[in-house]
């Protein structure tokens, strides 16, 4: 998460110094809070993932020689 924020700040053309950018970065506590708020989705009784909790292998890897984006 922090790497994504840093990459965005580094490539944004922002004139602030690294010290100023780091002061606005989220802390570990901020990231933990956001994760707890936005990951509060209903879970199954057996503890397994619900739909939408992860990427499905077949969605990312196709055996078809034709790209799926041509549809």
Residue matched to tokens 């909790």 = 53
d(CA 39, CA 62): 28
Helix/strand number for the chain, H first, E second: 4, 0
- Residue 39: inside a domain, yes or no? no
pLDDT > 80? residue 44: no
Residue 49 lies in a domain: no
In a domain, 9, yes or no: yes
- What are the tokens at 34? 């956001």
Residues 54-71 have pLDDT tens digits of: 666 666 666 666 666 655
Unique residue bearing structure tokens 């602030």: 16
Domain that holds residue 12: 1-34
pTM for this model (two decimals): 0.43
Does residue 19 sit within a domain?
yes
Tell me: the pLDDT tens digits for 15-37?
A: 888 888 888 888 889 988 988 88
The set of residues, in sequence order, having a beta carbon less than 8 Å from that of 25 and lying 6+ positions away, is 2, 5, 6, 9
pLDDT level of residue 39 (50, 70, 90 thresholds): confident
- The number of folded domains in the chain is 1
């Amino acid at each position: 998460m922090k790497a994504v924020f840093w990459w965005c700040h580094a490539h944004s053309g922002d004139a602030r110094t690294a010290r100023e950018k780091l002061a606005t970065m989220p802390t570990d506590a901020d990231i933990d809070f956001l994760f707890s708020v936005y990951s509060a989705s209903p879970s199954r009784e057996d503890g397994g993932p619900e739909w939408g909790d992860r990427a499905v292998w077949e969605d990312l890897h196709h055996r078809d020689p034709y790209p799926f984006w041509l549809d």
